[in-house]
Amino acid sequence: MAVQAGGDTGLDVAADLPPASTHARRQPFTGWRRVALGLVLPALLVTVWSVAAATGLLSTRLLPAPADIVTSARDFVFAERRAVLPGVVPFRGAAAEHVTASLGRWGVAYAIAVAVGLPLGMGLGLSRWVSATVDPLFQALRSIPITAWLPIALIWFGIGEGAARYLVFVGAVSPIVIATADATARVPRQLVDTARMLGTPRRHLARRVYLPAALPGIVTGLRLGLTLGWTSLIVGELTGANRGLGAMMVAAREVGRLDQIIVGMVAFALIGFAADFLLRSAARPFVRWADG
Amino acid sequence: MSGPALCASRLGKRYGPLEVFAGVDLRVELGEVVAVLGPSGCGKSTLLRVLAGLEPPDAGEVTETGEPVRGPSPERPMVVQGATLFPWLDLRANLEWGPRALGRRDAAAVTDRLLAATGLAGSDHLLPRELSGGMRQRAAIAQVVANEPPVLLLDEPFGALDAQTRLRMQEWLIGFLAERRTATVLVTHDVDEALLLGHRLVRLSHRPARVVEELEVDLPPHRSRATLSDHRFVALKARVLEQVLDA
């Protein structure tokens, strides 16, 4: 063992340098640079698309020009709302109505998926009894595609609201359960041992150790569930609801309005992106410790 | 209640057909540091987990001041190599965990004293990953001694540190344990560390581990880096090394 001369007690905090990052990945871009780089590809796509539409290279019957889609989007959001007959799905000025209907369905179903998925996932990760009894059935059920649930959802819950909520739930709950179970099972035994040796009662371990330690993995599951639930929503709304982004897109297809369909797709993409961004931002203070 | 701070008698542990250790006797008194020295993979860490109550023995019994050990307890914590701090909590919250779990109202004051005693004052808002290896190990020891345990179990606590930092940490630990009169079992494969910190040395054989030798470490009580060049230390080290290599 090397012997160090001098009277240093080793208790000078400044002498102890923090460890370097162990990640091989380079530092990610942040701030305006990240935003600007993220916009490069969409801008390029829209430019090429506009040129192709303007030069006649691309038939507007197959894909309307971006300018037409912008006009439709403006109508969808800002135009004066007109009265429509019962059963008719409105488009002009109906953005708020459709988005509210979609968000409402999705919000309720996602909240139920979180309320069911988190405890179930933690149970699967923590208990071999729960894992042995529930996991086979869960794995079998989650292999069924969302669209295969549609007929039975229509019979159980009727056309519209109930079926759409059920499909969002089915889409969202699987990733939440799987990520939570996996993250919980991976919590280092050392942390649990330490908590017990510090006097933490067993009944507090799930809340005080497993949940915070597994949180980064759980947040990944919540994000995946959020996106999958959101994309499942459209399947439910394609089946006879007369409010919601999906319902609007079905109505647009029936009258051959490609521009309106694309407006619906863009709205889906923007809302999904924004919801994921909000969830990530809300979770960041709680999972900051796990960053590189 | 009476008896030694920690006592293991005829202790045995096996995992299926694999016998990890057998017939291990160990006594530690208050204020005493017993260094357990043994080759890598001989079952030292498993022995410590059994002493901590984290795993039951298959034979024999562990008692703490005469009372049988039935599970982990804040009276008998263990510190292992690497991080045992809760990574999502800052240093202060990590140190306050134990006193708060026991419902103590003076958790903040205890933490202030420990931060000062470990030279970590001013770092209390940092996350474990923002601390250096030496700071983390000091913090991990401070975390478990916050509950003022009469017994402390250390599993190669400085194994991951560089030689200089390790020596500084060993000097710090000698003073820290002496001040608290903590009965300590220190598991290590480093002869220098065993002799520098231990008042008594227990040497284990290869698996299945048995106690092959117990040795009083006859060195001055106030040990430091200077002890490493003391002729008695050098002679003792040569003797122990010879036995370890012959084993």
* Cβ pair A1:B120 closer than 8 A: no
Residue A14 touches chain B, beta carbons under 8 Å: no
Question: So what's the pLDDT on residue B163?
Answer: 84
For residue A190, list chain B residues with Cβ-Cβ distance below 8 A: 80, 82-84
Mean pLDDT of A147-168: 87
Question: So what's the pLDDT on residue A249?
Answer: 92
Task: Give the side-chain half-sphere CA count within 13 A for A110.
Answer: 23
Mean pLDDT of A40-56: 90
CB-CB contact of B25 with B214 (8 Å): no
Dist CA B5 CA B157 (whole Å): 21
> Domain limits at A131?
99-286
Q: How far is CA A73 from CA A53, A116, A169, B49, B204, in A?
A: 18, 37, 29, 66, 78
Q: Pull the structure tokens for residue A242.
A: 């007369």
Question: So what's the pLDDT on residue B245?
Answer: 78
Question: So what's the pLDDT on residue A22?
Answer: 56
Residue B225 touches chain A, beta carbons under 8 Å: yes
Q: Which of B197, B225, B237 to mutate to test the interface with A (most CBs of A within 10 A)?
A: B225
CB-CB contact of A193 with A136 (8 Å): no
Residue B122 touches chain A, beta carbons under 8 Å: yes
Q: Please report which confidence band the pLDDT of residue A1 belongs to, taking 50, 70 and 90 as the band edges.
A: very low
Site of tokens 């340098």: A17
In a domain, A82, yes or no: no
CB-CB contact of A134 with A122 (8 Å): no
Residue B125 touches chain A, beta carbons under 8 Å: no
CATH of domain B6-77+153-246: 3.40.50.300
Q: What is the DSSP letter of A208?
A: I
Mean pLDDT of A178-203: 93
Question: So what's the pLDDT on residue A79?
Answer: 85
* Cβ pair B97:A195 closer than 8 A: yes
In a domain, A26, yes or no: no
| Angle of CA points B122, B126, B132, to nearest 5° | 90
* Cβ pair B84:A194 closer than 8 A: yes
In a domain, A59, yes or no: no
Q: What is the pLDDT along chain B (247 residues), one digit of tens a residue?
A: 567 889 999 999 999 889 899 889 999 999 999 999 988 778 888 999 999 999 999 999 999 988 999 899 999 999 887 668 999 999 999 999 999 999 999 999 999 988 988 888 899 999 999 998 888 888 998 898 888 899 999 998 887 778 887 888 888 889 888 888 899 999 988 899 999 999 999 998 888 888 888 888 888 878 888 898 888 999 999 988 888 777 6
Range with lowest mean pLDDT among A24-33, A203-212, A217-226, B22-31? A24-33
Percent of chain A exceeding pLDDT 90 equals 52
Task: Give the side-chain half-sphere CA count within 13 A for A134.
Answer: 17
* Cβ pair A198:B163 closer than 8 A: no
Written as one string, the DSSP assignment of B121-165 is TT-TTS-GGGS-HHHHHHHHHHHHHTT--SEEEEESTTTTS-HHH
Residue B150 touches chain A, beta carbons under 8 Å: no
In a domain, A44, yes or no: no
CATH of the domain at A231: 1.10.3720.10
CB-CB contact of B37 with B244 (8 Å): yes
In a domain, A41, yes or no: no
- What stretch(es) of chain B map to CATH 3.40.50.300? 6-77+153-246
pLDDT surpassing 60 at residue A92: yes
In a domain, A105, yes or no: yes
Of A8, A18, A289, the CB nearest to B87: A289
Residue A285 touches chain B, beta carbons under 8 Å: no
Taking CA–CA distances from A286, the nearest residue in chain B reads B88
Task: Tell me what the pLDDT averaged over chain A comes to.
Answer: 86
Dist CA A117 CA A136 (whole Å): 16
For residue A1, list chain B residues with Cβ-Cβ distance below 8 A: 163, 166-167, 190, 192, 228
ipTM attached to this prediction: 0.85
Dist CA A250 CA A243 (whole Å): 11
For residue A197, list chain B residues with Cβ-Cβ distance below 8 A: 52, 54, 72-74, 76-78, 144
Written as one string, the DSSP assignment of B25-79 is EEEE-TT-EEEEE--TTSSHHHHHHHHHTSS--SEEEEEETTEEP-S--TTS-EE
A164: nearest Cα among A190, A180, A146: A146
Dist CA A220 CA A182 (whole Å): 11
Burial classification of residue A35, based on how many CB atoms lie within 10 Å of its CB (0-12 exposed, 13-18 middle, 19 or more buried): exposed
pLDDT surpassing 80 at residue A4: no
In a domain, A162, yes or no: yes
In a domain, A39, yes or no: no
How many structural domains does chain A have?
A: 1
For residue A216, list chain B residues with Cβ-Cβ distance below 8 A: none
Residue A85 touches chain B, beta carbons under 8 Å: no
